Chains A and B, each alone.
Chain A
Amino acid sequence: MYTFSNRLKIGSIILMAVGLLGIIGGFVMAPGTVDEAKAMVASHDGGHGESVDTHAAVAEHGDGHDAAHDEHLLHQLQNKPWAALYVAAFFFMMIALGVLAFYAIQRAAQAGWSPLLFRVMEGITAYLVPGGIIVFVILLLSVLHMNHLFVWMDPEVVAHDELLQGKSGYLNPTFFLIRAAVFLGGWIAYREYSRKLSLQQDESSDNSKFVLNFRISAAFLVFYLISESIMSWDWIMSVDPHWFSTLFGWYIFASMFVSGITVIAMVTIYLKSKGLLPDVNDSHIHDLAKFMFGISIFWTYLWFSQFMLIWYSDIPEEVTYYVTRIEDYKLPFFGMIAMNFVFPLLLLMNSDFKRVNWFVVLAGIVILAGHYLDIFNAIMPATVGDQWYIGLSEISSVLFFAGLFIFWVFRALATAPLQPKRNPFIEESRHFHY
């Protein structure tokens, strides 16, 4: 039985407190008027100088256009703390959701190697409840026009945009919130029910709970694949409502899957370092690291498939997505490829390295940072444009949600024994050997 150590508890609470202060600071410092926004950008440009050229070019279009540009700038800067909050909230929710998918696959496949890790996975998926609700609240606030993350929610914009009018049967605030509620409700319901069955199986005298868990996991995977795909269109792709990509659902899935598996490996290694999970051996870590390696490559495959088709066909309505990113987000956009592909590829290729725990943790930290950047690159260009930087709002949001995540996950881990007693595959898992 794991007890939530005081050091970790205090650490996570400090993270949350510091993060919360920073988030509030970010909102307070966001400009309230056009003049403030211009002043902020002017002082910022002083340090760099390169974007002065673009402003000079814009000024030539005349004063009317210039005023519209300034208004736009104000909206971007006002969006920034919201977008930072949303990226971090989504990122940590996505980790829990990725673990839930991995867990359901292990259940549905009746995998023999992983039952020893089930309690770790269940602990991480516990975060889906607060994490999902927070994301839902942010989406609700968007619908209530507290921010401008989703331009299609603005009736003014839709009134002047025929494409958005055509999509309004699907992209309208009511249906959007209904979908979000159904998806989150479904995921959380499966998580809670499967966890309950998993705990009941420990006290059970037959395998009926295990079999039932197997059945609902298989059914959940069908629901998950559809809902995850639609969720990725709704919550991420729709910030660029004119743009679309048919494999976007898969792409976000790969991101959440690899982040989730990485966190399973990191939490397992942490618990092992505390002398818990004595039956988890190097082969289990090795298998998780293989998944980290494999899904990192799978993510790259999807990223590149999406990129190359759009780059090659060069259709204006599609290619703008990448033009914005390559022009304004060069460092995070290409840095993400290095962190999510090159780094894990070289670090985790060697079979022996996958068994060195600190090595797996090191690779995991880079992978997690890389996939944060992935979500950052997906949300930021449409919401803050070229006004992005990783500043107070971004770092504080990550700190806050990291603290909440650690707090919630380890509190959940402490509520049940870390090793399932009566899972029919537990013996196989204990003897799992590569």
Chain B
Amino acid sequence: MASKVIQAFYNDDDVLMHAVKKVKAAKHHIEEVYCPFPVHGLDKAMGLAPTRIAITSFLYGCVGLTVAVVMMNFIMIEDWPQDIGGKPSFSYLENMPAFVPIMFELTVFFAAHLMVITFYLRSRLWPFKKAENPDVRTTDDHFLMEIEIHDNEQELKDLLADTGAVEINISEKNSH
């Protein structure tokens, strides 16, 4: 379904932050903000729900720890017991200290990599994906705020012009 959106350009992140707060105060729903770099506190100003990626990271870490424990038990104790430095590995518990570095590394490895992959999936990013940003200037030095129009084009235009936008466009957009 195609819908009409209004796009306001800003050339400073402080001006953008004030604009976002002003638009939110006027009870308009901000569809999206495109930035050349992460703007601190923007998510809170836009009223986005807090991220849950930290929870996934914790769970992935637990998975990594479990994998390390099971893997080392299989490799060093069950499948091919080895004698390293005079320590015959017939008991997992007695050899546990030797496996701690592996537990630590795999916990970090799983948490970090799976968290990044989750972030990409959730953001619908993958290799060769066509960029979604509506204007190439948002990858350089401009910020773009996008608001959906519901028969209030003029009102929005006035409001955005008031917030210090350097350019205001109306465009058709195909929602995904």
Inter-chain contacts of A314 with B (CB < 8 A): 85-87
Whether A270 is near chain B, meaning CB under 8 Å from some CB there, is no
Asked whether B54 lies within 8 Å of A312 as measured between CB atoms, the reply is no
Interface flags, A351-394, vs B, CB<8A=1, else 0: 10000000000000000000000000000000000000000000
**Which residue of chain B has its CB nearest to the CB of A307?**
B97
Interface members, chain A 286-333 (any B CB < 8 Å): 304, 307-308, 311-314
Whether A39 is near chain B, meaning CB under 8 Å from some CB there, is no
**Which residue of chain A has its CB nearest to the CB of B100?**
A304
Roughly how many angstroms separate A314 CA and B97 CA in the complex, as a whole number?
Answer: 13
Dominant SS among interface residues on chain A:
helix
Whether B131 is near chain A, meaning CB under 8 Å from some CB there, is no
**Which residue of chain B has its CB nearest to the CB of A304?**
B100
Known pairs A314-B85, A314-B87; list 6 more (Cβ under 8 Å). A304-B97, A308-B97, A308-B98, A312-B98, A314-B86, A351-B54
Instruction: Take A313-B85, A314-B85, A314-B86 as given contacts and tell me if A349 and B58 are in contact as well, using a CB distance cutoff of 8 Å.
Output: yes
Roughly how many angstroms separate A433 CA and B85 CA in the complex, as a whole number?
Answer: 52
Interface members, chain B 74-116 (any A CB < 8 Å): 85-87, 97-98, 100-101
Q: How many residues of B contact A (CB 8 A)?
A: 10
| Residues of chain A whose beta carbon lies under 8 Å from any beta carbon of chain B | 304, 307-308, 311-314, 349, 351, 433
Inter-chain contacts of A349 with B (CB < 8 A): 58
Q: Can you pick out 19 interface pairs between chain A and chain B where the beta carbons lie within 8 Å of each other?
A: A304-B97, A304-B100, A307-B97, A308-B97, A308-B98, A308-B100, A308-B101, A311-B97, A312-B85, A312-B87, A312-B97, A312-B98, A313-B85, A314-B85, A314-B86, A314-B87, A349-B58, A351-B54, A433-B41
Roughly how many angstroms separate A312 CA and B89 CA in the complex, as a whole number?
Answer: 12
Roughly how many angstroms separate A433 CA and B41 CA in the complex, as a whole number?
Answer: 10
Roughly how many angstroms separate A351 CA and B52 CA in the complex, as a whole number?
Answer: 12
In angstroms, how far is the closest chain B Cβ from the Cβ of A59? 31
Roughly how many angstroms separate A59 CA and B97 CA in the complex, as a whole number?
Answer: 36
Inter-chain contacts of B97 with A (CB < 8 A): 304, 307-308, 311-312
Inter-chain contacts of B87 with A (CB < 8 A): 312, 314
**Which residue of chain A has its CB nearest to the CB of B54?**
A351
In angstroms, how far is the closest chain A Cβ from the Cβ of B84? 9
Interface members, chain B 38-61 (any A CB < 8 Å): 41, 54, 58
Inter-chain contacts of B85 with A (CB < 8 A): 312-314
Roughly how many angstroms separate A311 CA and B85 CA in the complex, as a whole number?
Answer: 11
Roughly how many angstroms separate A304 CA and B96 CA in the complex, as a whole number?
Answer: 12
Roughly how many angstroms separate A317 CA and B172 CA in the complex, as a whole number?
Answer: 78
Inter-chain contacts of A307 with B (CB < 8 A): 97
Roughly how many angstroms separate A433 CA and B40 CA in the complex, as a whole number?
Answer: 10
